[in-house]
Amino acid sequence: MHVPAVDRPLDEAEWRGFLSATGFGHLVAGGRDRETPVAVATQFVFDGDVVLAHVAVANPLLGALAERPRATLCVAGDWAFVPSAWKAIGDEDPMHGIPTTYYAAVQLSGPVTVVADPDALAGVLRRQLAALQPGVPVADPAGHADRLRAIRGIVLAVESVTARFKYGGNVDVAHRRAVLARLESRGGPGDLAAAAHVRRRLLDG
């Protein structure tokens, strides 16, 4: 992923916060000598410096990981389309505005351990449950022996991080504030999420 200097994360907390809040992405494994990598949409938990997930035994991701135990988690979100006219302020001609899309994206890559042992697998599931529904009483995963046999845990140890926060960093403050106001006025879920990023980066950048 290409990341211009103006779109780099402000700090580690920015990309970590986005990743933890999003919680859903695509695990991609290239395997070895495959024409097409395997990409699997999945819920995940980012726990310290590892990504935790689980997949069904029949999932083709496991075949690719058996060939080469490395993967990349790709996460994107908080996106909003910015129409061309929004890019014009003052006496600027809205016909000449250039449309764009604001978004955040993070990619984490590293070696993967596939967890099959029932005790270790139950441990992965406990960590996921603790993150996804903290404080909610639930039966211990170890009690689901039959179902544990049908899944495998995925533990990706993060070695590299690429993050991009494309929220108008290539234009001046006045233009960014104009887009911010229009995002908040349009008010869709993606608009408000994008607006929050624009506002934060205006204040912290």
Task: Determine the Cα–Cα distance for residues 35 and 38; give it in Å rounded to an integer.
Answer: 10
Asked whether residue 159 is assigned to any structural domain, the reply reads yes
Asked whether residue 186 is assigned to any structural domain, the reply reads no
Asked whether residue 70 is assigned to any structural domain, the reply reads yes
Asked whether residue 123 is assigned to any structural domain, the reply reads yes
**Residue pair 153/129 in contact by the 8 Å Cβ criterion:** no
**Residue pair 46/161 in contact by the 8 Å Cβ criterion:** no
Nearest to 25 by CA among 78, 79, 77, 74: 74
Structure letter (DSSP) for residue 35: S
Asked whether residue 89 is assigned to any structural domain, the reply reads no
**Residue pair 9/62 in contact by the 8 Å Cβ criterion:** no
Name the band, by pLDDT with cuts 50, 70 and 90, for residue 193.
Answer: very high
CATH of the domain at 13: 2.30.110.10
Task: State the amino acid at position 49 in one-letter form.
Answer: D
Task: Determine the Cα–Cα distance for residues 185 and 82; give it in Å rounded to an integer.
Answer: 12
User: How many structural domains is the chain composed of?
Assistant: 1
Instruction: Identify which has the larger pLDDT, 141 or 26.
Output: 26
Range of the domain at 161: 5-80+100-170
Mean pLDDT of 22-30: 96
Asked whether residue 197 is assigned to any structural domain, the reply reads no
pLDDT in tens, 66-78: 999 999 999 999 9
